[in-house]
């Protein structure tokens, strides 16, 4: 019984992480950043997918160029 719960939780975590990763990549590509921030964020997201996505949500969205 616990094996089913663990595998269900793992599956939900993997799907959520994948959706978050794709959302963050699209968000970075759609917006303008100052300097080399866009390239830096893409490299961070590729090297550290889950941690990079969370860091972008906390710190990166404030670095976008305001229109």
What letter would DSSP give residue 63? G
Say if 18 falls within a structural domain: yes
Q: In the prediction, which pLDDT does 5 show?
A: 85
Residue with tokens 């917006």: 31
**pLDDT for residue 3:** 80
* Bigger pLDDT: 5 vs 67: 5
Compute the distance between CA of residue 66 and CA of residue 28 in angstroms, rounded to an integer: 14
Q: Is the pLDDT assigned to residue 1 strictly greater than 80? A: no
Per DSSP, the three-state class of 48 is coil
pLDDT for 66:
81
Q: Which structural domain, as residue segments, surrounds residue 6?
A: 1-62
**The total number of structural domains that make up the chain:** 1
Residue 33 pairs with which residues in a beta bridge?
64
Q: Is residue 67 part of a domain?
A: no
Judge whether 12 lies within some domain.
yes
Q: What is the pLDDT of residues 9-44, one digit of tens each?
A: 999 999 999 999 999 999 999 999 989 999 999 999
Q: Is the pLDDT of residue 2 over 90?
A: no
Characterize 3-23 residue by residue with b for buried, 16 or more Cβ atoms within 10 angstroms of its Cβ, and e for exposed.
eeeeeeeeeeeeeeeeebbee
């Amino acid at each position: 019984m616990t094996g089913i719960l663990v595998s269900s939780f793992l599956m939900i975590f993997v799907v959520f992480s994948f959706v978050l990763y794709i959302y963050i990549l699209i968000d970075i590509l759609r917006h303008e950043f100052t300097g080399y921030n866009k390239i830096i964020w893409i490299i961070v997201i590729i090297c550290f997918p889950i941690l990079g996505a969370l860091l972008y949500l906390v710190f990166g969205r404030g670095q976008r160029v305001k229109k």
